[in-house]
Structure 1
């Protein structure tokens, strides 16, 4: 990155596009979870520009996303959503972007929602000259079905390990729950997988989903024995180059505030776009 690079500015229109793509990802993953189980337990319900999703017990896809970009929901609509979650014994978790009307936060607080955390959305403007060149000794390729289980194990383990730097996450998920959610993403949401190979071993894995000009970086991990060899940088470079070739103009990633993950992506040129407040109402 050059010192004169202009930081990416996020207005309401860009935030709306990112939140719409996020809601689409969650909706498709949630539907895939129901298909995988072969039952009708769960739901995806449109709500004020976003969606309310219940995918599976303790799933990271159980959330309200994109809320507020279609206005403030009616009390009756919130009643319906809360009944749907509570009937399954689940809390209602709303991830609320700070660019929506503050009156929505006041409404949720009055209904008993409590602030439990934050998450940051960072973005990078994609240019057409991004190169798909890994460092010497590292090979990046599309991840095939023959290594799917090994790839899932590697990436799920990274998600399950908490980032101890910065603000603590308000939630943790068992490795098997994360693996199931990632399988659903890959099977139904158009998530592309990449693997990094070094010295004949699977050294890292990553994924990306492309929609509406947005490249969602949906996960990345490096095996412990292969760290500090440029694997993560190579996985990022290849995904950005492929996103540029697909016509994307922005890449986005979500991190915990002040975390090592945020520090790493900012070193790669990502800018902080906006923050989501995590508001939860218990049954």
Structure 2
């Protein structure tokens, strides 16, 4: 970082939101492939995407709106009907830097503000992987999924409480369906202390979640996982890294200590029954 702060204008926000939409679509596609029941969908919508992976999934959402004009009312109506047919709410994650008319358009259609999440970013520079962090081997995947999902269920307790609550099985499914991610694990005293992942999309390193086993919290595990992913992102040729956190959370505090700047917030707008979805924010997979 070398003291250089990352400023986020609408162009960078659009780039990040496009990457998010691509990630959500890839994960939803992976879920449908795993299930093979043909119930889900991925639909383009006004420069963004609407996806349904499986009942209760973190990947049931609309992402990337606000940078390509208002959604066509008829097209949005079809998306809303598709969610309703699957007895799911429509959740839109709308960037603070998106066209303000999109928020007004959605609230006029009955969407309500439910919560916020923060998007932070920093420029990627060189670095080294800490000695207590390494890439997850293929034969360790099931253990990684189980430990990270279990740690995610134990909230850290700092900052605004999350409105999201997922069963363990759904968390494991979501972690498995994160298409194209690189997974890492941290060890302390010979034990699996935490895990994290990231994905490269168009030069952006998307930090797609991290969790620390409760017994190993406040021991620098998340910091080590952050540094490992930053080093790997630099090696992969990324120019920026981004992460999503719960506002005021320990995860937000940790990433800001590692040079991440608060870029913008996303408003979570919901139509229908209260939603429980997210793209795998760092704060939701507890530090």
Residue of structure 1 aligned with 2:221, choices 217, 231, 235: 231
Q: What residue is the counterpart of 1:198 in the other structure? A: 188
Residue of structure 1 aligned with 2:66, choices 68, 80, 102: 68
Q: CA distance change for structure 1 residues 77 and 133 in 2, over 3 Å: closer, same or farther?
A: closer
Q: What residue is the counterpart of 2:7 in the other structure? A: 9
Which residues of structure 2 form unaligned runs of 5+?
A: 274-287
Query: 3-state SS of the aligned residue for 1:172?
Result: coil
Equivalent runs, 1:246-257 vs 2, <5 Å: 246-257=236-247
Q: Structure 1 residue 132 and structure 2 residue 128: aligned?
A: yes
Q: What residue is the counterpart of 1:104 in the other structure? A: 102
Residue of structure 2 aligned with 1:23, choices 15, 21, 24: 21
Q: Is the 8 A contact 1:97 1:276 kept in 2?
A: yes
Q: Is the 8 A contact 2:198 2:208 kept in 1?
A: yes
Which residues of structure 1 form unaligned runs of 5+?
A: none
State the alpha-carbon separation in 2 of the partners of residues 74 and 133 from structure 1: 46
Q: Is the 8 A contact 1:155 1:219 kept in 2?
A: no
Residue of structure 1 aligned with 2:261, choices 271, 274, 280: 271
Q: What residue is the counterpart of 2:211 in the other structure? A: 221
Residue of structure 1 aligned with 2:230, choices 221, 240, 251: 240
Q: Deviations over 1:27-81 (max 9, x none)?
A: 1111111111111101010001100000000001000000121111111111111
The total of aligned residue pairs comes to 273
State the alpha-carbon separation in 2 of the partners of residues 70 and 223 from structure 1: 41
Residue of structure 1 aligned with 2:138, choices 132, 138, 145: 145
Q: Which shifted more, 140-149 or 41-50? A: 140-149
Q: Deviations over 1:143-194 (max 9, x none)?
A: 0122212211221123323343222222221121111011011xxx210111
- TM (norm. structure 1) is 0.92
Q: What residue is the counterpart of 2:278 in the other structure? A: none
State the alpha-carbon separation in 2 of the partners of residues 36 and 85 from structure 1: 20
- TM (norm. structure 2) is 0.91
Q: Which shifted more, 55-64 or 17-26? A: 17-26
State the alpha-carbon separation in 2 of the partners of residues 104 and 190 from structure 1: 31
State the alpha-carbon separation in 2 of the partners of residues 225 and 114 from structure 1: 38
Q: Structure 1 residue 52 and structure 2 residue 47: aligned?
A: no
State the alpha-carbon separation in 1 of the partners of residues 102 and 222 from structure 2: 38
Q: CA distance change for structure 1 residues 162 and 133 in 2, over 3 Å: closer, same or farther?
A: closer
State the alpha-carbon separation in 2 of the partners of residues 257 and 198 from structure 1: 28
Residue of structure 2 aligned with 1:95, choices 93, 96, 113: 93
Q: Deviations over 1:98-139 (max 9, x none)?
A: 111111111111110011000000001112xx32142xxx53
Q: Deviations over 1:197-233 (max 9, x none)?
A: 2332222211110111100111112223333443222
Q: What residue is the counterpart of 1:212 in the other structure? A: 202
